[in-house]
Chains A and B, each alone.
Chain A
Amino acid sequence: MYRYDEADQQIVEERARQFRGQVERRLDGRLSEEEFRPLRLQNGLYLQLHAYMLRVAIPYGLLSATQLRQLAHIARTYDRGYGHFTTRQNLQFNWPTLTDTPAILDALASVQMHAIQTSGNCVRNVTSDPFAGVAADEIVDPRPYCEFLRQWSTFHPEFAHLPRKFKIAVTGATVDRAAIAVHDIGLRIRKDEAGRIGFEYFAGGGQGRTPVLAEKLRDFLEEADLLAYTEAVLRIYNELGRRDNKYKARIKVLIKEMGSAEFRRRVEAEFETTRHDPALRLDPEALARMKAHFVPPDYATLPDGQTALQAGRLGKDRAYARWLASNLAPHRVPGYAIVQLSLKSETLPPGDVTADQMDAIADLAERHGFGRILVTHRQNLVLPDVRIDALRQVHAALEGLGFATPNVDRVTDIIACPGLDYCDLANARSIPVAQSIQQTLADADRVHDLGPLTLNISGCINACGHHHVGNIGILGIDKQGEEFYQLTLGGSARDDASVGKVLGRALTAEEIPGAVERILATYAVLRSGADEAFLAVVRRVGLGPFKEAVYADHS
């Protein structure tokens, strides 16, 4: 992974010192709250319903065991003993005090971490394929490019006051696990016939109140031009993005209003200038140096282990078999597997991990792997380098920790935003709804049998829980001060990205588990076989039968 040298280290330390000064000036009144707000936001510090929340960046989802232990330490010392993994490869602490935050930033800086630009109207933490570097279907490792983007965007002096927040996602695999279609900039790395690396370049995707899938700007942008082109996109957006209405300020609105052809024309014209700037062009040495940070670790030469896996899947130990089938992903190196830890159970809110669990995961990552942990946008964690011959041990350890629920990418692997329990923008609670659905779907065999299915919950239209792109989406709305929930079906964040359609009138929290139950039962009847996934059925038959099932005897 990327290792800081003294220059990187100096930057995060300077930042902690700067923020300490800003907090002091806030406390002695030299800074008003209005002036302080954008400063603290650009440092990931929100003011929530009950307290401050600090959002820590986990660039492109990659953590070392040392870093995870430090997060555990911070959770114990400055918070209530846990942290919350978000849908954007960040970790949130929900209870820090304003006066403690400079010390937390120091603690983060000591392990090469920070909270820079995890919020505010700036380029946010760059996200990526959570299996970057290990996925069997990877064409090009996206992490060097993510790190270039991280460095380029960190304190970029020109783009600290954009019209609105700006999110970039990068994937280098065949399957898009980074949801690039719903990002302000989405990049798919490819190779041309000559083997040269480049980017399929998308812009203008987003969720929120007007979900939009990104438009393609380029089929193939050369690797060396990544920053020059991105600088051109940001400059056009900074100058022309709307600033009169925060709901129309995202780049997706600019592109829609201007037309993608005109937007592209302007970006290309700007790129004619930036591409000749030697400070933006990535020369071969810089590319090689960056890639050297991400060379694969020393894998052992092992038999491919497929027979053992197959035997496990068919074996008598049903829990283990289900876990192998749903929580494992294929590794690029024979004899290894990618193991996903499900942070979705009935006991903790989705994405929450206690300090003790963090320590235990860090230990596991060192014992079974190279001390690396990955964070997924579905709020789960990943041990990327587990030997297939150690899977039973790892499974037992994860069961002990409560992270072996065999439900990854299944219906109970619910994404939920913090909702009304924490967030002052919320219309409705998300976490209790997730938990009530989980309780009604406690039958592991059934969940397993229902196959891949994403269920995403947001507590308001800001869509932090990605409800638009859930196969089943649940959106909290407010009707005369009461919490209601709107159901959508047919969303997807993958390569076949789509925005879900509203099923019908909004339901109460009590009605939701039953409605989900009826949707699933309808699917089970309609599918042509075990291979036809939920999304495929919704696309084939439309909403009609599901509407019928949910509302027929109710409306």
Chain B
Amino acid sequence: MRIIRDRRIVEDTFVHLDEHAPVPSGVGVVLPWSRWLAERASLADRGAPVGVRVAATIDLATLVEALSSLAVVAIEIPKFTDGRAYSLARRLRGEAGFSGELRAVGDVLRDQLLFLSRCGFDAFELAPGRSLEDALEAFGDHERHYQSSADRTRPLWTRPSPG
């Protein structure tokens, strides 16, 4: 599967597992949060990166505790109009200091990519049937932003007056 990562189209290097599929060795995997919770001990020293798939409503404190052993946090967007993932990403990049991959999965569409990335997402699995090439253009929709976000741009109101 191809995804967008760091504003480029790349082949996904992770294998996505459901609740039961056996864990392959030597390759990165992303598991449902509940399975990760149940199997975290055995996953800890498998020698390849592990990620989880979570809902935006997940209990933040539990997730934050787990972050140090996670390479990927994939946040589900059930409907593109559901804005909760944006705040969760903001928290993970902000106070929780997560520097691994933050991936948007689910109803992920071109016109939301720029704001998602500003909030801290750096990887995107587009909704089925969407053109990744089209979607890449979204990052160029706006070059300047008034306010800061997880991207730490400088707010425009702090710019010195002209002249």
Q: Which residues of A contact B (CB under 8 A)?
A: 5, 7-8, 10-11, 14-15, 17-18, 21-22, 30-31, 35, 38-39, 121, 148, 151-152, 154-163, 227, 235, 238-239, 243, 273, 277, 279-280, 282-283, 285-286, 289-290, 292
Q: Chain A residues near B111 (CB, 8 Å)?
A: 22, 31, 35, 39
Query: Interface digits, B136-157 against A, CB 8 Å rule (1 contact, 0 not)?
Result: 0100011111111100101111
Residues 72 to 119 of chain B near chain A (Cβ within 8 Å): 80-84, 86-88, 90, 94-95, 109, 111-112, 114-116, 118-119
Name 25 A/B residue pairs within 8 A (Cβ), A-sorted: A5-B162, A7-B144, A7-B156, A7-B159, A10-B144, A11-B146, A21-B141, A35-B109, A148-B157, A151-B147, A154-B147, A156-B147, A157-B114, A157-B116, A157-B118, A157-B119, A158-B115, A160-B83, A161-B80, A239-B84, A243-B82, A279-B148, A285-B158, A286-B158, A289-B161
Most buried by B among A22, A39, A243, A282: A243
Q: Chain B residues near A282 (CB, 8 Å)?
A: 157
Determine the main DSSP class of A at the interface with B: helix
Q: Chain A residues near B45 (CB, 8 Å)?
A: none
Q: Are B161 and A292 interface neighbours, CB within 8 A?
A: yes
Q: Chain A residues near B94 (CB, 8 Å)?
A: 273
Of all chain A residues, the one with the shortest Cβ separation from B56 is: A239
For residue B134, CB closer than 8 A to chain A, the reply is yes
Q: Give me 13 other A-B pairs in contact (C-beta within 8 A), A161-B112, A279-B152 excluded.
A: A10-B144, A14-B141, A15-B142, A18-B141, A30-B134, A155-B146, A158-B83, A158-B87, A159-B83, A235-B90, A238-B83, A279-B158, A283-B158
Residues 112 to 138 of chain B near chain A (Cβ within 8 Å): 112, 114-116, 118-119, 131, 134, 137
Q: Chain B residues near A5 (CB, 8 Å)?
A: 162
Docked Cα-Cα span, A30 to B138, in Å, equals 14
Q: Chain A residues near B131 (CB, 8 Å)?
A: 30
Docked Cα-Cα span, A15 to B111, in Å, equals 12
Of all chain A residues, the one with the shortest Cβ separation from B88 is: A239
Docked Cα-Cα span, A205 to B109, in Å, equals 33
Q: Chain A residues near B88 (CB, 8 Å)?
A: 239
Which residue of the partner chain, among B115, B143, B156, B161, contacts A160 with CB atoms under 8 Å? Answer: B115
Q: Are B144 and A279 interface neighbours, CB within 8 A?
A: no
Categorize the interface residue count of chain B.
35 or more
If A11-B142, A273-B95 touch, does A161 touch B81 (CB 8 Å cutoff)?
yes
Q: Chain A residues near B149 (CB, 8 Å)?
A: 156-158
Distance in Å from the Cβ of B131 to the closest Cβ of chain A? 8
If A22-B111, A292-B161 touch, does A152 touch B81 (CB 8 Å cutoff)?
no
If A161-B82, A238-B83, A289-B161 touch, does A155 touch B142 (CB 8 Å cutoff)?
yes
Of all chain B residues, the one with the shortest Cβ separation from A8 is: B156
Q: Chain B residues near A11 (CB, 8 Å)?
A: 142, 144-146
Of all chain B residues, the one with the shortest Cβ separation from A39 is: B111
Of all chain A residues, the one with the shortest Cβ separation from B131 is: A30
Q: Chain A residues near B90 (CB, 8 Å)?
A: 158, 235
Q: Chain A residues near B141 (CB, 8 Å)?
A: 14, 17-18, 21
Q: Which residues of B contact A (CB under 8 A)?
A: 80-84, 86-88, 90, 94-95, 109, 111-112, 114-116, 118-119, 131, 134, 137, 141-149, 152, 154-162
Docked Cα-Cα span, A162 to B81, in Å, equals 8
Docked Cα-Cα span, A30 to B154, in Å, equals 34
Of all chain A residues, the one with the shortest Cβ separation from B91 is: A235
Docked Cα-Cα span, A157 to B158, in Å, equals 19
Which residue of the partner chain, among B80, B115, B143, contacts A35 with CB atoms under 8 Å? Answer: B80
Docked Cα-Cα span, A152 to B156, in Å, equals 9
Of all chain B residues, the one with the shortest Cβ separation from A293 is: B161
Distance in Å from the Cβ of B54 to the closest Cβ of chain A? 14
Of all chain B residues, the one with the shortest Cβ separation from A283 is: B158
Q: Are A161 and B147 interface neighbours, CB within 8 A?
A: no
Docked Cα-Cα span, A88 to B58, in Å, equals 37
Q: Chain A residues near B161 (CB, 8 Å)?
A: 289, 292
Q: Chain B residues near A161 (CB, 8 Å)?
A: 80-83, 86, 112
Q: Chain A residues near B147 (CB, 8 Å)?
A: 151-152, 154, 156, 227, 279
Docked Cα-Cα span, A18 to B115, in Å, equals 14
Q: Chain A residues near B158 (CB, 8 Å)?
A: 279, 283, 285-286
Q: Chain A residues near B160 (CB, 8 Å)?
A: 289
Distance in Å from the Cβ of A239 to the closest Cβ of chain B? 5
Distance in Å from the Cβ of A388 to the closest Cβ of chain B? 35
Q: Are B142 and A154 interface neighbours, CB within 8 A?
A: no
Q: Chain B residues near A152 (CB, 8 Å)?
A: 146-147, 155
Q: Chain B residues near A156 (CB, 8 Å)?
A: 147, 149
Distance in Å from the Cβ of A144 to the closest Cβ of chain B? 10
Docked Cα-Cα span, A121 to B79, in Å, equals 14
A-B pairs, 8 with minimum CB distance: A161-B83, A279-B148, A157-B115, A157-B118, A151-B146, A18-B141, A158-B86, A238-B87
Q: Chain B residues near A239 (CB, 8 Å)?
A: 84, 87-88
Of all chain B residues, the one with the shortest Cβ separation from A37 is: B81
Of all chain B residues, the one with the shortest Cβ separation from A36 is: B111
Docked Cα-Cα span, A31 to B119, in Å, equals 24
Q: Chain B residues near A243 (CB, 8 Å)?
A: 82, 84
Docked Cα-Cα span, A7 to B83, in Å, equals 27
Q: Chain B residues near A31 (CB, 8 Å)?
A: 111
Docked Cα-Cα span, A238 to B115, in Å, equals 15
Docked Cα-Cα span, A35 to B109, in Å, equals 9
Q: Chain A residues near B143 (CB, 8 Å)?
A: 10, 14
Docked Cα-Cα span, A163 to B155, in Å, equals 26
Distance in Å from the Cβ of A128 to the closest Cβ of chain B? 18
Of all chain A residues, the one with the shortest Cβ separation from B94 is: A273
Distance in Å from the Cβ of B85 to the closest Cβ of chain A? 9
Q: Are B86 and A157 interface neighbours, CB within 8 A?
A: yes
Q: Chain A residues near B87 (CB, 8 Å)?
A: 158, 235, 238-239
Q: Chain A residues near B142 (CB, 8 Å)?
A: 11, 14-15, 18, 155
Q: Chain A residues near B137 (CB, 8 Å)?
A: 21
Distance in Å from the Cβ of A118 to the closest Cβ of chain B? 17
Distance in Å from the Cβ of A257 to the closest Cβ of chain B? 16
Q: Chain B residues near A148 (CB, 8 Å)?
A: 157
Of all chain A residues, the one with the shortest Cβ separation from B109 is: A35
Q: Chain B residues near A39 (CB, 8 Å)?
A: 111
Of all chain A residues, the one with the shortest Cβ separation from B155 is: A279
Of all chain B residues, the one with the shortest Cβ separation from A31 is: B111
Docked Cα-Cα span, A289 to B162, in Å, equals 11
Distance in Å from the Cβ of A19 to the closest Cβ of chain B? 10
